Copies of this chain bind each other. A is one copy, B any other.
């Protein structure tokens, strides 16, 4: 299997952009990534577009504006992991020797007020129809079991907005005070409005290549050392893969995907210099910090309190501002995490630069347990 390198990254800012066409949002991200890679569109050998709401053939419509060369173009829909899935497909195109330069991109113009749950599902019938309801249940579980406090939930959001204020691509480019967040409207107890990320608009793109092509373009190589797509281990009701009674103790999809990514990259969580993870809400950052192995289970709140996840801490988390300050355009989200890590590894992150960052991890997790984890190294 061939090694895979990041040749370039590009974003369209995250936010809300009125009537701006989602295809144009995608085009700008792709154009920026190609410019960063220093290659013309004619060199791309395969393209994978992650999107949920751009409509049929969204990726083809973007590339029709960038330049069509007859290459395979595939549109990928994997909810919150759409961008991460497109990245993995592009990774495999290079690693498996199907082409030498591959493009992963994603863009979204999220509808407002949409309902994620299917009204025919039993849990939606019970009233569990929108995401913050699930997030709140997980938050309460963590608080009950590990003593995580409402103050800590506020502090996650304080930190990520402080970071996001330094990120020109973030939606909320301003700090928010503890009081502002703690007094924002309650959405689903214990999660308040400013502890939840906004489904919004944006685009991101990543150009991958072989080592040979990457060396022609640059002397500073960024390796995509692993990219893993995981799903749940439940089996079926009749033939459980993990018994129902064992599920509480069983590893989560984030845990199993991270374990596989660490093994593929030949590293452990202790080797990481920064992490971009799925902070759809404040509690998720604490929970996934644990599941990714940045600390023991139940220690996520302490990790935060100790300042370890700050930009200058032991293991900076969401230095980009995370989803809490950027918002979450599903198809672009994971690819924007990769862009942030690449800028950090190159030393190009300006006022939010993590000192001497060499290894970074990205993580998205979403509907039905799809989870994408990647490891980048310089």
Contacts and interface: CB of A to CB of B under 8 A. Distances in A.
A119 interface: no
Chain multiplicity (copies): 2
A72 B231 contact: yes
Given A77-B75, A77-B77, A229-B73, A236 B96 contact: no
B66 A74 contact: no
A217 interface: no
Interface residues of A, number: 52
Contact of A70 (B1, B231, B367): B231
Given A89-B89, A368-B60, A368-B64, A231 B96 contact: no
Contacts of A88: 72, 74
A245 to B, nearest CB: 17
Nearest to A230: B70
A67 interface: yes
A97 interface: yes
A137 interface: no
A74 B85 CA distance: 7
Interface of A: 1, 42, 52, 55-57, 60-61, 63-79, 85, 88-89, 92-93, 95-98, 118, 228-236, 239, 241, 253, 256, 367-370
Given A64-B368, A70-B232, A74-B89, 6 more contacts: A55-B118, A56-B77, A57-B78, A60-B369, A70-B253, A89-B89
